[in-house]
């Protein structure tokens, strides 16, 4: 039987719920970093209070966006918490985004505050001021920057703003299948309901039960690292071992002091490549969780054989936070993403929109308190992505077994997931098509030993033009986030098309899809 869906507290501000779970001993360690720093629970509370007071002193209009593109640090986490407690809207941005990508996000979201690293201040502040952003501050990963200087004068006492479950908390940009990124608007209720469900579902141990210790090795500008991992630890008063960057050797060395690890499949592949990953190293661990991309059966079984632990795979999206999970108590079935979480209504539908049963394959649609309200300033796009009866169309294709387990078999959206990051072919194709001498192009995902899947660009020259594949990749590298750049490019005379004139990407994958390892 599924546990009941948790009810919302009077103040749905998720910071308040996290704060309520901090251990009574505020002087104990909340975060230990890989650079040897220790932060107490009191540090988190006071540091985020000072930043919240500082943000509020700017007298920003209600609903103002705070756009943040900074390297991972505990101070960046405090800024996130401060934004929540001040009742403003957090907008995290991948540090790999380059100028054109940042220009788009800043002009679309119109943030009142932009926070960037001192190193990027020149170009980011220019973009901010051009878009009418009144405040641009810096925050570096070494506890310096104008944001901290300014907040140093603020009070360290702060009462979290009162929020209703539907109040906007965060905008997460997800790239679009048309090439245009959309800001998914997540509310305090979306995130809090999900955090409360996962608290029970994954059997987090409270301090009096010995407590959990999470190794936090993911970036903090996406749902996985920011919400699933951080909310998970904080709402259980659990300490984090904080890795500024994923380093498999450091993680293995930290395992004997930890109990929970979360990663995208690439992290598991890289850990398996380390001889130091042994059953003994993992004997103190309680739980390994994987998500954001498909976990290969080979990785699942190799992990079981090497460590004696069965990875728990779960499935979610930026628009919905977590949707399904294999059980903590019960069978973790490799190749599946488990059953819908309590409160999540999941159905598989055919092309006519009819629900299918009996393990038939179809489109995955979902509904629940965790599902977002819509895309920022895109009401028509939002309406297209929901059915008349309020289900969100995930764009994932799968089946559900009679005992509830869901298997994702593909995607109806044209998306490549590379090392846990989403790469949208349409964005890259549009850039390549604009290069001199290019007639058309197609970008497809091909298997990759480390990243699971990577992009391959297939490009057709204009009649008489000579194209250099390496130059095409170099042009892309100068323009878009590095993880989006295809690992390979081939120049061909034409693209295969079906009778409707649509490019047959499956044929390109078959032709060029030999597993890549570099």
Which residues of the chain form contacts with ligand AMP (CB under 6 A)? 174, 223, 291-294, 313, 315-318, 337, 394-396, 408, 411, 417, 422
Q: With CA atoms as reference, report the closest residue to 274 among 308, 307, 240.
A: 307
Minimum distance from residue 455 beta carbon to ligand MCA (Å): 8
Residues in 191-230 at the binding interface with ligand MCA, rule: CB under 6 A: 218-219, 222-225
Binding partner at 365 among ligand AMP, ligand MCA, none, C-beta below 5 to 8 Å by kind: none
Exactly one of 190, 318, 370, 407 binds ligand MCA (CB under 6 A); that residue is: 318
Binding partner at 411 among ligand AMP, ligand MCA, none, C-beta below 5 to 8 Å by kind: ligand AMP
Exactly one of 69, 73, 238, 292 binds ligand MCA (CB under 6 A); that residue is: 292
Minimum distance from residue 388 beta carbon to ligand MCA (Å): 26
Q: Does 420 bind ligand MCA (CB under 6 A)?
A: yes
Q: What are the beta bridge partners of residue 187?
A: 168
How many residues bind ligand MCA, per CB under 6 A? 23
CA 20 to chain centre: 25
What is the rounded distance in angstroms from the CA atom of residue 308 to the CA atom of residue 504? Answer: 43
Q: With CA atoms as reference, report the closest residue to 270 among 452, 393, 409, 401.
A: 452
Q: What are the beta bridge partners of residue 136?
A: 114
Q: Kindly indicate which of the ranges 313-321, 325-333, 385-393, 438-446 contains the residues binding ligand MCA, using the contact rule CB under 6 A.
A: 313-321
What is the rounded distance in angstroms from the CA atom of residue 175 to the CA atom of residue 223? Answer: 14
Binding partner at 266 among ligand MCA, ligand AMP, none, C-beta below 5 to 8 Å by kind: ligand MCA
Q: Which residues contact 145 (CB under 8 A, 6 or more apart)?
A: 117, 118, 137, 138, 139
Binding partner at 294 among ligand AMP, ligand MCA, none, C-beta below 5 to 8 Å by kind: ligand AMP
3-state secondary structure 44-111: HHHHHHHHHHHHHHCCCCCCCEEEEECCCCHHHHHHHHHHHHCCCEEEECCCCCCHHHHHHHHHHHCC
Minimum distance from residue 271 beta carbon to ligand MCA (Å): 11
DSSP string, 362-427: EEEEEESTTS--EETT-HHHHHHHB-TTS-EEEEEEEEE-TTS-EEEEEESS--EEETTEEE-HHH
Minimum distance from residue 231 beta carbon to ligand MCA (Å): 12
Q: What are the beta bridge partners of residue 367?
A: 345
Minimum distance from residue 1 beta carbon to ligand MCA (Å): 26
Q: With CA atoms as reference, report the closest residue to 94 among 230, 222, 258, 257.
A: 222
Q: Does 250 bind ligand MCA (CB under 6 A)?
A: no
Binding partner at 419 among ligand AMP, ligand MCA, none, C-beta below 5 to 8 Å by kind: ligand MCA
Exactly one of 41, 135, 202, 246 binds ligand MCA (CB under 6 A); that residue is: 246
Q: Does 394 bind ligand MCA (CB under 6 A)?
A: no
Binding partner at 174 among ligand AMP, ligand MCA, none, C-beta below 5 to 8 Å by kind: ligand AMP
Exactly one of 103, 109, 198, 317 binds ligand MCA (CB under 6 A); that residue is: 317
* Closest CB to ligand AMP among residues 366, 438: 366
Residues in 473-512 at the binding interface with ligand MCA, rule: CB under 6 A: 482-483
Evaluated on CA atoms 383, 384, 387, 391, the torsion sign reads negative
Minimum distance from residue 119 beta carbon to ligand AMP (Å): 26
Q: What are the beta bridge partners of residue 396?
A: 411
203-226 as b/e: b if 16+ CB within 10 A: ebbebeeebbbbbbbbbbbbbbbb
Q: Does 419 bind ligand MCA (CB under 6 A)?
A: yes
Binding partner at 483 among ligand AMP, ligand MCA, none, C-beta below 5 to 8 Å by kind: ligand MCA
**Is residue 479 classed exposed, middle or buried when 0-12, 13-18 and 19+ CB atoms within 10 A define those classes?**
middle
* Closest CB to ligand AMP among residues 85, 484: 484
* Closest CB to ligand MCA among residues 306, 477: 477
Binding partner at 405 among ligand AMP, ligand MCA, none, C-beta below 5 to 8 Å by kind: none
Give the HSE-up count for residue 308: Cα atoms under 13 Å, Cβ half-sphere: 9
Residues in 72-111 at the binding interface with ligand MCA, rule: CB under 6 A: none
Interface residues with ligand MCA (CB under 6 A) are 218-219, 222-225, 245-246, 264, 266, 291-292, 316-318, 418-421, 451, 454, 482-483
């Amino acid at each position: 039987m599924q546990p009941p869906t948790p009810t919302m507290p009077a103040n749905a501000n998720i910071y308040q719920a996290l704060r309520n779970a901090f251990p009574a001993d505020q002087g104990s360690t909340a975060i230990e970093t890989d650079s040897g720093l220790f932060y107490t629970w009191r540090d988190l509370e006071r540091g985020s209070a000072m930043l919240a007071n500082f943000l509020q002193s700017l007298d920003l209009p209600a609903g103002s966006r705070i756009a943040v593109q900074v390297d991972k640090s505990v101070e960046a986490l405090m800024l996130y918490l401060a934004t929540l407690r001040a009742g403003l809207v957090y907008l995290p941005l991948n540090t790999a985004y380059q100028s054109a990508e940042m220009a788009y996000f800043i002009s679309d979201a119109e943030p009142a505050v932009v926070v960037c690293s001192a190193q990027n201040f020149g170009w980011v502040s220019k973009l901010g001021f051009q878009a009418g952003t009144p405040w641009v501050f810096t925050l570096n990963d070494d506890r310096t920057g104008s944001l901290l200087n300014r907040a140093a004068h603020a009070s360290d006492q702060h009462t979290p703003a009162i929020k209703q479950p539907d109040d906007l908390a965060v905008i997460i940009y997800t790239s679009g299948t048309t090439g245009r990124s959309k800001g998914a608007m997540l509310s305090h209720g979306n995130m809090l309901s999900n955090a409360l469900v996962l608290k029970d579902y994954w059997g987090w141990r409270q301090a009096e039960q010995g407590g959990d210790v999470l190794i936090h090795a993911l970036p903090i500008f996406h749902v996985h690292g920011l919400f699933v991992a951080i909310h998970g630890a904080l709402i259980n008063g659990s300490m984090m071992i904080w890795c500024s960057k994923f380093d498999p050797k450091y993680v293995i060395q930290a395992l004997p002091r930890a109990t929970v690890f979360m990663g995208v499949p690439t992290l598991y592949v890289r850990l398996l490549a380390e001889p130091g990953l042994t059953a003994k190293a993992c004997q103190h661990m309680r739980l390994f969780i994987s998500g954001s991309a498909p976990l290969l059966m080979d990785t699942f079984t190799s992990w079981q054989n090497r460590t004696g632990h069965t990875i728990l795979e779960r499935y979610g999206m930026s628009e919905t936070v977590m949707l399904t999970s294999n059980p903590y108590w019960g069978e973790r079935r490799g190749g599946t993403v488990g059953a819908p979480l309590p409160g999540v209504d999941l159905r598989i539908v055919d092309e006519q929109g009819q629900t299918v049963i009996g393990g038939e394959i179809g489109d995955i649609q979902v509904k629940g308190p965790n599902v977002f309200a819509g895309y920022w300033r895109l009401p028509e796009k939002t309406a297209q992505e929901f059915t008349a009866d309020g289900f969100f169309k995930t764009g994932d294709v799968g089946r559900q077994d009679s005992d509830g387990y869901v298997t994702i078999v593909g995607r109806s959206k044209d998306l490549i997931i590379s090392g846990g990051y989403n790469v949208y072919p349409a964005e890259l194709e549009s850039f390549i098509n604009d290069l001199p001498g290019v007639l058309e192009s197609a970008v497809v995902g091909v298997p990759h030993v480390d990243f699971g899947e990577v992009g391959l660009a297939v490009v057709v020259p204009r009649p008489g033009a000579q194209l250099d594949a390496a130059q095409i990749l170099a042009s892309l590298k100068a323009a878009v986030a590095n993880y989006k750049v295809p690992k390979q490019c081939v120049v061909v005379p034409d693209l295969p098309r079906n009778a409707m004139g649509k490019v047959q990407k499956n044929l390109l994958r078959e032709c060029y899809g030999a597993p890549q390892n570099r």
